Amino acid sequence: MRTNPLFDLFGKVAVVTAGGHGLGREYCIAMAEFGADVVCNDINLTLAEETLDHLRPFGHRAIAIQGDVSKPEDVERLVREGLRRFGRIDVFFCNAGTSNRFVPPHELIYEDWSKVVAINLRGTFLCMKAVLPVMLKQKKGSIINTASVAGLPGGFAPDSSVYGATKAAIIGLTRHAAVAYAREGIRINAIAPGIHDTKPVGLGISQEKQEELKPLIQARIPMGRIGEPREIKALAVYLASDASSYVTGQVFVEDGGLLA
């Protein structure tokens, strides 16, 4: 079934990094639901393959590719393989991200700092660097980076300093790159999610601790609840499709009113 042509992704190819879980899986589902073929990357191949099971009902092509976004060779292979299988890349979600263990800055250890910078910031840069030449050739493309409310004023969390720093840097990278490629048919935007119930696997805090923190977090959110991962899908479709053809260099906050 074709959707409204404004949001139509038929014939397009979308790559999603860290598509095996959480928001990344929702991006993959959203792309397939609106007609795109999907390349689902994850460092964990089993999770990426599980995502493919969710895409089957939509009947489009989809492949899973294992890879670590902080490694140039893995990212280059992801783009190369996506192109080899599907011939083009129209949409690229730089979604992979992780957080430091929640501690104040003076307790942060160098290894945590390096890991978060490598996956969040270097990973985003490597993905953009690998896919931009493809989109330049096509004279068209949409890159969607992943920031966070933690990278924006008002979103400060005292124990997430390196996470917040990388997300603020991703916003800077998004804006600068958007201007650089605005005349080349390439749009670059960022989504800044608020708190979503993805049961994050990379946060370094236990499931019990997450449950304990839940009421405290909910109390801070004007809508009074944590977001469902699927609630981010419409924004993803908007930014991936021609519905947002005159939109670039922007950060879209989706947070139940948290920053308001």
Task: Please list the alpha-helical segments (H only) found in 100-148.
Answer: 110-116, 123-138
Helix axis angle, 72-86 relative to 123-138, nearest 10°? 30
Distance CA 194, CA 124 (A): 19
Q: Which of 23, 31, 135, 253 binds ligand NAD (CB under 6 A)?
A: 23
The residue among 35 and 121 lying less far from ligand NAD, judged by its C-beta, is 121
Beta-carbon count within 10 A of 207 CB: 8
Residue 35 DSSP SS3: coil
Residue 26 near residue 236, CB atoms below 8 Å: yes
Stretch that binds ligand NAD, among 125-133, 153-161, 191-199, 239-247 (CB under 6 A): 191-199
Distance CA 218, CA 112 (A): 27
In the region spanning residues 143 to 162, those forming contacts with ligand NAD, defined by CB under 6 A, are 146, 148
Kindly state whether residue 185 participates in binding ligand NAD, applying the rule CB under 6 A.
no
Residue 255 near residue 149, CB atoms below 8 Å: yes
User: Least separation, in Å, of the C-beta of 169 and ligand NAD?
Assistant: 13
Structure tokens at 235: 């924004």
State how far Cα 15 lies from the chain centre. Answer: 10
The residue among 148 and 174 lying less far from ligand NAD, judged by its C-beta, is 148
Stretch that binds ligand NAD, among 29-37, 79-87, 96-104, 212-220 (CB under 6 A): 96-104
Distance CA 106, CA 220 (A): 26
In the region spanning residues 41 to 80, those forming contacts with ligand NAD, defined by CB under 6 A, are 41-44, 47, 68-70
Q: Which of 12, 13, 21, 186 binds ligand NAD (CB under 6 A)?
A: 21
The residue among 35 and 96 lying less far from ligand NAD, judged by its C-beta, is 96
Kindly state whether residue 213 participates in binding ligand NAD, applying the rule CB under 6 A.
no
Kindly state whether residue 193 participates in binding ligand NAD, applying the rule CB under 6 A.
yes
Kindly state whether residue 201 participates in binding ligand NAD, applying the rule CB under 6 A.
yes
Question: By C-alpha distance, which of 173, 127, 169, 118 is closest to 148?
Answer: 169
Catalytic residue of the set 27, 110, 163, 181:
163
* 163 labelled catalytic: yes
Structure tokens at 52: 């493919």
The residue ranges that bind ligand NAD (CB under 6 A) are: 17-18, 20-24, 41-44, 47, 68-70, 95-98, 119, 146, 148, 193, 195-196, 198, 200-202
| Residues taking part in catalysis | 163
